[in-house]
Structure 1
Amino acid sequence: MLNIDFHSDGQSKNPAINHQKLIAYIHSGQLSQAEQMAYNLILLDQADFFAHKIYGSLLVQSERYQEAIASLEQAYTLKPEDTEILNNLGQAYYKLEQFDEALKYYNSALAQRSDFAECLNNKGMVLHALGRLNEAIDIYDRAIILRPKYLKAHNNRGAVLRDLKRYQEALASHDRALAIEPQNAEAHSLCGMVFQQLGQLHEALACQLRALAIQPNNPGIWVTLGLILSAKGMLTQALIAFDQALALNPRLSEAINNRGLILRALGRLSEARACFEKALIFKPCSVEALNNLAILQHQQGQLDSALETLNKALTFNPNHVSALINRSTVLRDMGQLDTALSDLAQAQTFEPDSVIACSNALFILNYHPDHSAETIFDAYREFDRRFGQPHRAAWLPHPNRPDPERRLRLGYVSPDFRGHSACHALEPLLTHHDRAHFELTAYAELTQEDALTAVYRRLVDHWVPTRGLSDDELAARIRADGIDILVDLAGHTANNRLGVFARRPAPVSVTWMGYGSTTGLSAIDYFLADATLAPEGSEALFAEQPWRLDRPLAIHRPVPEMGEVSPLPAHRRGYVTFGTLTRHVRINHRTLRTWATILQRLPGSRLVIDSKDFAAPSMQQRLTERFEALGIAPERLEIGYHSPPWDVLRGIDIGLDCFPHNSGVTLYETLYMGLPFITLADRPSVGRIGSTILTALGHPEWIAASETDYVERALALAADLDRLAALRAGLRAEMEHSPIRDEGGFVRSLERAYRRMWQLWCRTSIRHNS
């Protein structure tokens, strides 16, 4: 509430004199005095239109939008034909992200005054926010025709063109603004944002520094600088930039939100969450802050909360692509695959060139229980058509020396050179490589390094951080490094660099490990496999040529913390306990039906399902209800989450694998704790992971050919507890003496494959050059 001092303001009884004094305050920059006087004039006369108009406008400037609307609507009641009032009301609603209301007032103003350039510019901003980008361009063009030197319209037009990915046109708009005013900080900053989108981070940074030299106290420019520093992987410096923005404007939601992103990337999750929640205090309708809060809730296993937050975000902006993608991920982890795919399809409608949306859809399709392998592969071919093949025209010849026996340069590309499940295979691989014949380079797409990163650094000859490098820049670096064989270790998982492989920077390329399925990219030569994972006749399901090792593609280094194998729990309890450590995405109506049949056929038996997706009681309850619908009582189920899971495994007698997408690392862990598991040989290749592991172990009798066969094999294991106890006691030793634990043998086999791949390229290269 403003203090009232009628005498100090010295109001006249003549309204015209008061209004002139009010204008004088504004022209002299004495805005607080102007606001006080306007407020006092309203108290003296509620029908003072001019006082309401000025007071509302000043409140908009001071970001007190709800108060502004109250005063402006009073002014509108007094004089509905005043287009400036309508424009200011639109601006207040725009700032509150109530875009439909804002558009209503802008349209009313323009209906009365079609040449109102400022209102056209503001309407363009609303259309931009609503995702109606082409309409926004048309509106800005109208404003510029009316006022050719309208800086804001040129800059806003460029911002829309950037979102349309018409980057050169966007730069041209900002260049026109700079031609009008060379020292226009906003134009320099917006140019930097275009260069950031182009992956030209050096140029982007230079633009922001020029903008800051002009306006060092502009918090928005500090925010943009922070975003560019973050893209370059300079997280500490980015945090300083956001803190500087907040020093200038402590209520700036964008700075608080982006500060939270950096803290999340640094693993400081509680601080990050506090930032997102604080950003929402200052800007409750911020879709960005809601989206980021939901990501954190998901990361912390709070799936219901994450879904609720994302639903709220999409209420404010149904076209927000990132929120749609993130909601699909939450729905995926809740087992709602079709709904998740629907969100991703909607995201691609709004942003057809969203590689992330397309990759995530492929990821989900691998788990879908009802699609055929052929139907799924059609989606992978479409990915190649859209995101792979357009780069073929720019492929360059490889100058690598085609000597079939020389030392080869291997490049491993991964976001997982850190504490990640990939370490069970990746660390043994790098440890046992023959460095006399192979020179190793790690291309590490990391946000944050950890203790395991330091281990990986020591195991390679060259370490190249790739965060902040565009696909073109990284491809050029790989070519300059002379890599002979480039290996993708991520597939369509998060933070992959498949865009680099589409550019074919090395003579030979291979995909392996992190994804377990084809990438869909015809630019990649080989899919590393074995005769079980990609059996003869399955070649049509791979964009790459399956390269089958001369031994099983199974390698695993257990962690020492797992502890000892326990005695068979069934002997102590008197009933058999089945179990799985799988994520929810692998559980579907087929697996549920099969597991329920096992429990029905073996009265008294129990089932344990333990993973992070079931940390919340609500998730446990939903899965329990699905089993109840199949006739399984809740007391026969133990659903939850424990980390680490070693004691959980010590309480299980028989493991159950999932299908059509098998589990991965948890299957190795199951065996190492003495548990046999039943798997179903389903779609190549992700449906054959369990089969590959059991083939390597020498137990093909635990591989089922159908759901009925799966049930029978599980019951056969459960029928002989003494045999099951003997298996449990000896399974770890079996595993230690199997190909699974023969790290050196695996790497020698892989190196033979690499050498043969290289020799084939040399032969082709020599033939083409002769």
Structure 2
Amino acid sequence: MINYSISWNSGSVQPAAPKPLDPLQEGIQAHRRGDLDQAMGHYVQALRNRPTRAIAHYNLGVALIDAGLGLTSLPFLIHATLLRPDSLIFRYARLFALIHAGRLEQARQLIDDSTQRGLPPETLDYWRNWVANCAAGRNPAELNLASPGLADTTNELPDQAPDLPTTSAAQPGLQQPFEQAIEDYQAGRLQKLVDDLETLLTDFPEWGEGHHLRGLGLMGLQRFEQAVASLQRASELLPGRAEIRDHLGVACVRLGDDEGVRRAFEQALSLNPLRAETWNNAADSALSRGRFDEAFQYALQAVRLKPDLRESSYCLLQAAYRLDALAPENDSAEPIQADRGSALTSAIKTLKTGIERPEQALALAPLLAQIGQYQAAIDILEQSLARFAQHPPMLLGELMMNQRHLCDWRHWSERLSVLSGQVKMNQEAVISPFSALTIPGLKPGDLLRVARQQAASYGIWMDRASELRPAPLKSPDSRLRIGYLSADFQEHATAYLTAGLFERHDRERFEIFAYSSDPDDGGPMRQRLRQAFDHFIDIRSLSHLAAAQRIRDDGIDILIDLKGYTRNARIEILALRPSPLQVTWLGFPGGLGAPFIDYLIADPVVAPSEQAIHYDEAIAYLPDVYAPVDANRQIAVTPTRAEAGLPATGFVFCCFNDPYKITPEVFDRWCALLKAVPHAVLWLYAKSDEVMDNLRREAAIRDVASARLIFARKKPQPEHLARLALADLFLDTQPVNAHTTASDALWMGVPVLTCLGETFAARVAASLLNAVGLPELIATDLDDYQARALRLASQPQELAAIKQRLADAHGSAAFFDTTRFTRNLEALYQRIWDRHTQGLPPAPLAPIQA
């Protein structure tokens, strides 16, 4: 998440008035007590008051070394030596950090510079010997180097800024074109900006500010090689401007110049180690290159300097998560290795400490949830509810959603009542559209209101649609170009359903594009999907505007959104309207309430025509079922019951839905079934120990022994499908049904029992059961659901007959026919396009067999 924060102030920083109590002295006292976090906080405050205070830079660097964060100590120690170039103590600390970080070439450069400055030769000989030993393979710890000590303020010299130019001689005479250039940049008139500056720079080649702005304009135009040249020239002319080197680092990232990236960010941080945006950019770059310890240290520093910089929180959590998951030898960075304990624990502690506003908690919770740290998110949100009398209306909804992921049903009834009332009454957003799907009692009209609230947040992107260049002219005899936009072209539920469809598209009539915004996980599904499309375009590194322009330049006729309001979606691209027709399908079970979406692909069960008033999109109906299956899926060998953790005998109820879909009301019914069916077990998917502990506790409350619950962890898709065959009956959830999990169960011959609800998400399993020819497995309410489940568990002959019908359906039912589904979907695309070419607006399209 590169941050492009720009400072246009070319003057020197004016220090704030010092506090009555010197924070540097407070930092020294805390440092001596061993309270490093508090010491670092005081040192930072001392530098905010007086940015050129050399001892504060030095002591902060020493504190970072002592905390095992040696990489982040270097900019502060380098800056200290810039302020006091002849200090042997400052230079030694810098050498110590370089040696322990494995930066031996930089250590040699420091010794050479120290020699030229006339520092004691005998000391420099020791330093050379240490570097030579490390170069020969010795561990720095074996050298017994003394850790740098604290500096006190006894003989502190007056503050003095580095003697480095921050303005060019030409700047005063070019203030008016400078201000015009800034206005052009901020308004997005990038080509005009670059053209005007090229003319001016011909006459004023030493105008550093002009080279800087030209470089930024070239970056915006994606001309990164030219941008690097301009920014490099600007940094030479204005060597005291840290943000120029920061922007140079960003440009080098886009070019893939790893050495240029490292050099630029390190130079920027050495000039201004208090600039949180530069630390964040360095962290983001390190994270993308797999240098997780480096990313962790840089992001940690960014968060400490600016706790509400959301991009840094993301980098910190991602780096910490991967650090804890990987062995240290897999990391290419070699920092000073102190015993920091769990990187993730440390990261979460730091982020919690920095929360000063409830909005920060609301921003942090999704980042924690993304890496499975639901309990940490719950803790932060609950503390914010208690701590802040005035809090964002979405705080309660976010809290309940994180609780749902752990089946943590504390305060369920009272919180649900409050949240439901807020959703129904408030005109502003109180819950995300995805979370709203999971709230019992919400009606289709409620979900439309929530979706519209979310769609309104993309208005700024809709306003920028005019910035896109026109699409190329379409040849009358060319194939229809279909683009699929998703972050799930990898091992993901959506890919498991659609891979066979993509492979079966009629290439004589359709040209198929994938626009992938997810990282390449290197798995077999990713490789398979790359082969399934005519064009597989990775847009992860492109901005929303650049990605939309790429889609338009490709001449996409119909753009299919496969994400909707789910994690890692890029709705901003759709809001920019890169395609004349835009459709949402499959990824989100419902409408988006957005004026830039023309059609919702559904079937008559999930979105019956009488509910059309609750959708802003025109509903394009498929005739059989709205979700495909992959006829080419791989299935492993079925394990034994013992291998799957199941008892040798007894009926197996199963639900492999994500735990957030389970409600106390549905769990009541499951426990009643276990009590009514002797020796039966309930086989559930659990992604964490907390889920298992919470469900066992809830079972005990309902007088069901915890041994009756059997938990399964995530497995590769072939193994998961194979174990499903051991279940006798799949029990669905409400108000969010099984989607891919129900499809998987039916494919493996396991009957699925569902309960038909009102909303799209509550009708998905019913759609699948109709398509497979088993409508009798669709209950009307939870009482009916429980009664049917008990009858099937008690009457083996009836269940066996249903399983036989399910097996027989493999050769005839629409559910299993991937080719038939593909032809129906293609016919729907053609009808959508035909209406458009006839000048007709989007309108409901009835289900017709191709």
Following superposition, the deviation at residue 573 of structure 1 comes to: 3.7
Distance 1:646 1:456, change over 3 A: closer
- Which of 585, 588, 591 in structure 2 is aligned with 1:515? 588
Distance 1:426 1:299, change over 3 A: farther
Is 1:542 aligned to 2:615, yes or no? yes
Once residues 400 and 766 of structure 1 are traced to their aligned partners in structure 2, the CA distance between those partners, rounded to angstroms, is 21
- Which of 592, 604, 608 in structure 2 is aligned with 1:531? 604
Is 1:318 aligned to 2:356, yes or no? yes
What residue identity is the alignment partner of 1:345?
Answer: M
SS state at 2:763 partner: helix
The aligned runs of 1:13-412 (5 Å cut-off) are 57-62=53-58, 64=60, 208-214=231-237, 224-227=247-250, 232=254, 236-237=256-257, 241-242=261-262, 245=265, 261-262=284-285, 265=288, 268=290, 272=292, 275-276=295-296, 280=300, 287=307, 291-295=314-318, 309-310=347-348, 312-319=350-357, 324-328=362-366, 330=368, 334=374, 345=394, 361-388=432-459, 391=462, 407-412=479-484
Map of 1:560 onto structure 2 = 634
Following superposition, the deviation at residue 745 of structure 1 comes to: 0.8
Map of 1:423 onto structure 2 = 495
Map of 1:22 onto structure 2 = none
Is the CA contact (8 Å cut-off) linking 2:245 and 2:268 kept in structure 1? no
Map of 2:155 onto structure 1 = none
Distance 1:735 1:641, change over 3 A: same
Distance 1:453 1:602, change over 3 A: closer
Distance 1:560 1:673, change over 3 A: same
Once residues 650 and 283 of structure 2 are traced to their aligned partners in structure 1, the CA distance between those partners, rounded to angstroms, is 49
Is the CA contact (8 Å cut-off) linking 1:611 and 1:640 kept in structure 2? yes
SS state at 1:553 partner: coil
What whole-Å deviation, never above 9, does each CA across 1:192-248 have from its counterpart, x for those lacking one? 779979999889767644444547898876554444555x5x6x5458614764599
Map of 1:676 onto structure 2 = 751
Map of 1:584 onto structure 2 = 659
Distance 1:274 1:263, change over 3 A: closer
What residue identity is the alignment partner of 1:276?
Answer: F
Following superposition, the deviation at residue 750 of structure 1 comes to: 0.7
What residue identity is the alignment partner of 1:421?
Answer: A
Is the CA contact (8 Å cut-off) linking 2:481 and 2:513 kept in structure 1? yes
Following superposition, the deviation at residue 298 of structure 1 comes to: 6.8
Following superposition, the deviation at residue 751 of structure 1 comes to: 1.1
- Which of 702, 707, 710 in structure 2 is aligned with 1:635? 707
Distance 1:577 1:260, change over 3 A: farther
Once residues 543 and 704 of structure 1 are traced to their aligned partners in structure 2, the CA distance between those partners, rounded to angstroms, is 29
Following superposition, the deviation at residue 716 of structure 1 comes to: 2.0
Map of 2:414 onto structure 1 = none
Is the CA contact (8 Å cut-off) linking 1:314 and 1:320 kept in structure 2? no
Is the CA contact (8 Å cut-off) linking 1:360 and 1:492 kept in structure 2? no
Following superposition, the deviation at residue 753 of structure 1 comes to: 0.7
Once residues 480 and 282 of structure 1 are traced to their aligned partners in structure 2, the CA distance between those partners, rounded to angstroms, is 38
What residue identity is the alignment partner of 1:272?
Answer: F
Map of 1:12 onto structure 2 = none
Distance 1:595 1:348, change over 3 A: closer
Is the CA contact (8 Å cut-off) linking 1:566 and 1:650 kept in structure 2? no
Is the CA contact (8 Å cut-off) linking 2:563 and 2:586 kept in structure 1? yes
What whole-Å deviation, never above 9, does each CA across 1:377-425 have from its counterpart, x for those lacking one? 101112333424972795699886697x963222222222333332223
Is the CA contact (8 Å cut-off) linking 2:497 and 2:740 kept in structure 1? no
What residue identity is the alignment partner of 1:292?
Answer: C
SS state at 2:733 partner: coil
Is the CA contact (8 Å cut-off) linking 1:412 and 1:488 kept in structure 2? yes
Is the CA contact (8 Å cut-off) linking 1:484 and 1:508 kept in structure 2? yes
Map of 2:545 onto structure 1 = 472
What residue identity is the alignment partner of 2:727?
Answer: I
Once residues 635 and 750 of structure 2 are traced to their aligned partners in structure 1, the CA distance between those partners, rounded to angstroms, is 17
Greater helix percent: which structure? 1
Following superposition, the deviation at residue 370 of structure 1 comes to: 4.0
Map of 2:781 onto structure 1 = 706
Is the CA contact (8 Å cut-off) linking 2:728 and 2:750 kept in structure 1? yes
SS state at 1:560 partner: coil
Which runs of 5 or more structure 2 residues have no equivalent in the other structure?
Answer: 1-27, 29-48, 65-159, 162-170, 173-177, 326-341, 386-390, 399-427, 843-850
- Which of 482, 496, 520 in structure 2 is aligned with 1:448? 520
- Which of 605, 626, 644 in structure 1 is aligned with 2:698? 626
SS state at 1:292 partner: helix
Distance 1:760 1:445, change over 3 A: same
Following superposition, the deviation at residue 67 of structure 1 comes to: 8.6
Following superposition, the deviation at residue 637 of structure 1 comes to: 1.6
The aligned runs of 1:606-621 (5 Å cut-off) are 606-612=681-687, 614=688, 617-621=689-693
Is the CA contact (8 Å cut-off) linking 2:646 and 2:710 kept in structure 1? no
Is the CA contact (8 Å cut-off) linking 1:412 and 1:486 kept in structure 2? yes
SS state at 1:626 partner: helix
What whole-Å deviation, never above 9, does each CA across 1:706-758 have from its counterpart, x for those lacking one? 12222122212211235445655774553464323312111110111111111
Once residues 401 and 281 of structure 1 are traced to their aligned partners in structure 2, the CA distance between those partners, rounded to angstroms, is 51
What whole-Å deviation, never above 9, does each CA across 1:482-533 have from its counterpart, x for those lacking one? 3222211221223333223223332222111222221221221110011111
Is the CA contact (8 Å cut-off) linking 1:409 and 1:482 kept in structure 2? yes
Is the CA contact (8 Å cut-off) linking 2:429 and 2:454 kept in structure 1? yes
Bigger shift: 650-659 or 252-261? 252-261
Once residues 721 and 610 of structure 1 are traced to their aligned partners in structure 2, the CA distance between those partners, rounded to angstroms, is 25
SS state at 1:670 partner: helix
Once residues 411 and 599 of structure 1 are traced to their aligned partners in structure 2, the CA distance between those partners, rounded to angstroms, is 47
Map of 1:593 onto structure 2 = 668
What residue identity is the alignment partner of 2:447?
Answer: I
Following superposition, the deviation at residue 313 of structure 1 comes to: 1.0
Once residues 297 and 655 of structure 1 are traced to their aligned partners in structure 2, the CA distance between those partners, rounded to angstroms, is 37
Distance 1:757 1:256, change over 3 A: same
SS state at 1:652 partner: coil
Distance 1:279 1:497, change over 3 A: closer
Map of 1:754 onto structure 2 = 829
What residue identity is the alignment partner of 2:637?
Answer: G
Which runs of 5 or more structure 1 residues have no equivalent in the other structure?
Answer: 1-38, 40-52, 69-117, 120-147, 150-154, 350-356
SS state at 2:783 partner: helix
Is 1:500 aligned to 2:573, yes or no? yes
Once residues 785 and 397 of structure 2 are traced to their aligned partners in structure 1, the CA distance between those partners, rounded to angstroms, is 38
Once residues 632 and 194 of structure 1 are traced to their aligned partners in structure 2, the CA distance between those partners, rounded to angstroms, is 66
**Identity over the aligned pairs, expressed in percent?**
24
SS state at 1:64 partner: helix
What residue identity is the alignment partner of 2:292?
Answer: A
Distance 1:478 1:698, change over 3 A: same
Distance 1:274 1:394, change over 3 A: closer
Map of 1:33 onto structure 2 = none
Once residues 688 and 467 of structure 1 are traced to their aligned partners in structure 2, the CA distance between those partners, rounded to angstroms, is 33
Bigger shift: 412-421 or 334-343? 334-343
Following superposition, the deviation at residue 465 of structure 1 comes to: 3.1
TM-score by length of 1: 0.65
Distance 1:555 1:56, change over 3 A: closer
TM-score by length of 2: 0.59
SS state at 2:499 partner: helix
